[in-house]
Amino acid sequence: MTTKSPTHNRWSSNFSFVLAATAAAVGLGNIWKFPYIMGENGGGAFVLVYLIFIFLIGVPVLMAEVLIGRRGRASPGYAVRKLAKESKVNSAWQVTGWLGMFAGFMILSFYAVIAGWALSYMVKAAQGTFFTGISEAEIGNVFGSMVSNANELVLFTTIMIAGTVFVVGKGFKSGLERAVTFLMPMLLLLLILIAVYAAKIGDFGTAAQFIFKPDFANLSSQGILIALGHSFFTLSLASGVMIIYGAYVPRETSIVRTSIWIAIADTIVAVIAGLAIFPIVFGFGLQPGEGPGLIFQTLPIAFSAMPAPSLVATVFFLMLVLAAFTSAISMIEATVAFIEEKFKTSRWTAAIVSGALLWTVSLGTVFSMSGAAWAQIDWVIFGKELPTIFSAIDHIASNILLPIGGLLAALFTGWIMKKHYTQDELNTSPLAYFIWQVCVRYLAPVAIIIIFLQLLGLI
Please report, as ranges, the residues that interact with ligand PHE according to CB under 6 A. Answer: 24-25, 27-30, 104, 107, 233-234, 236, 239, 241, 327, 330-331
Nearer to ligand PHE by C-beta: 187 or 306?
187
CB of 103 to ligand PHE, least distance (A): 8
Instruction: Return the one option of ligand PHE, Na ion, none that residue 297 interacts with (CB less than 5 to 8 A, by type).
Output: none
CB of 73 to ligand PHE, least distance (A): 20
Per-residue H/E/C for the chain: CCCCCHHHCCCCCHHHHHHHHHHHHCCHHHHHHHHHHHHHCCCHHHHHHHHHHHHHHHHHHHHHHHHHHHHHCCCHHHHHHHHHHHCCCCHHHHHHHHHHHHHHHHHHHHHHHHHHHHHHHHHHHHCCCCCCCCCHHHHHHHHHHHHCCHHHHHHHHHHHHHHHHHHHHHCCCCCHHHHHHHHHHHHHHHHHHHHHHHHHHCCHHHHHHHHHCCCHHHCCHHHHHHHHHHHHHHCCCCCCHHHHHHHCCCCCCCHHHHHHHHHHHHHHHHHHHHHHHHHHHHHCCCCCCCCCCHHHHHHHHHHHCCCCHHHHHHHHHHHHHHHHHHHHHHHHHHHHHHHHHHHCCCHHHHHHHHHHHHHHHHHHHHHHHHCCHHHEEEEEECCEEEEEHHHHHHHHHHHHHHHHHHHHHHHHHHHHCCHHHHHHHHCCCHHHHHHHHHHHHHHHHHHHHHHHHHHCCCC
Report how far residue 140's alpha carbon sits from residue 128's, in angstroms, rounded to the nearest whole number: 18
Site for Na ion in 288-327 (CB under 5 A): none
Report how far residue 45's alpha carbon sits from residue 218's, in angstroms, rounded to the nearest whole number: 7
Nearer to ligand PHE by C-beta: 6 or 29?
29
CB of 33 to ligand PHE, least distance (A): 7
Nearer to ligand PHE by C-beta: 28 or 139?
28
Nearer to ligand PHE by C-beta: 50 or 130?
50
Site for Na ion in 12-41 (CB under 5 A): 25, 29-30
Nearer to ligand PHE by C-beta: 30 or 314?
30
Instruction: Return the one option of ligand PHE, Na ion, none that residue 303 interacts with (CB less than 5 to 8 A, by type).
Output: none
Report how far residue 118's alpha carbon sits from residue 274's, in angstroms, rounded to the nearest whole number: 17
CB of 341 to ligand PHE, least distance (A): 20
Q: Are 214 and 48 in contact (CB under 8 A)?
A: yes
Instruction: Return the one option of Na ion, ligand PHE, none that residue 292 interacts with (CB less than 5 to 8 A, by type).
Output: none
CB of 444 to ligand PHE, least distance (A): 18
Alpha carbon distances (Å) from 137 to 286, 294, 310: 11, 14, 18
Alpha carbon distances (Å) from 399 to 5, 88, 127, 233, 377: 33, 31, 38, 8, 18
Nearer to ligand PHE by C-beta: 84 or 273?
273
Nearer to Na ion by C-beta: 105 or 204?
105
The stretch near Na ion (CB under 5 A) out of 89-97, 109-117, 143-151, 264-272 is 264-272
Give the residue, chosen from 16, 234, 258, 310, that forms a contact with Na ion under the rule CB under 5 A: 234
Instruction: Return the one option of Na ion, ligand PHE, none that residue 413 interacts with (CB less than 5 to 8 A, by type).
Output: none
- Give the number of residues in contact with Na ion, rule: CB under 5 A: 5
Instruction: Return the one option of Na ion, ligand PHE, none that residue 131 interacts with (CB less than 5 to 8 A, by type).
Output: none
Task: Count the residues in the chain.
Answer: 459
Give the residue, chosen from 65, 152, 203, 266, that forms a contact with Na ion under the rule CB under 5 A: 266
- Identify which of 320, 330, 312, 262 has the alpha carbon closest to the alpha carbon of residue 295: 320
CB of 39 to ligand PHE, least distance (A): 17
The CB-nearest residue to ligand PHE is 29
Instruction: Return the one option of Na ion, ligand PHE, none that residue 104 interacts with (CB less than 5 to 8 A, by type).
Output: ligand PHE
Instruction: Return the one option of Na ion, ligand PHE, none that residue 107 interacts with (CB less than 5 to 8 A, by type).
Output: ligand PHE
Instruction: Return the one option of Na ion, ligand PHE, none that residue 327 interacts with (CB less than 5 to 8 A, by type).
Output: ligand PHE
The CB-nearest residue to Na ion is 234
Nearer to ligand PHE by C-beta: 110 or 197?
110
CB of 97 to Na ion, least distance (A): 21
Nearer to ligand PHE by C-beta: 107 or 294?
107
Nearer to ligand PHE by C-beta: 233 or 282?
233
CB of 215 to Na ion, least distance (A): 25
Report how far residue 210's alpha carbon sits from residue 39's, in angstroms, rounded to the nearest whole number: 9
Report how far residue 298's alpha carbon sits from residue 276's, in angstroms, rounded to the nearest whole number: 9
CB of 169 to Na ion, least distance (A): 25
CB of 238 to Na ion, least distance (A): 13
Nearer to ligand PHE by C-beta: 21 or 306?
21
Q: Which chain residues interact with Na ion by CB under 5 A?
A: 25, 29-30, 234, 266
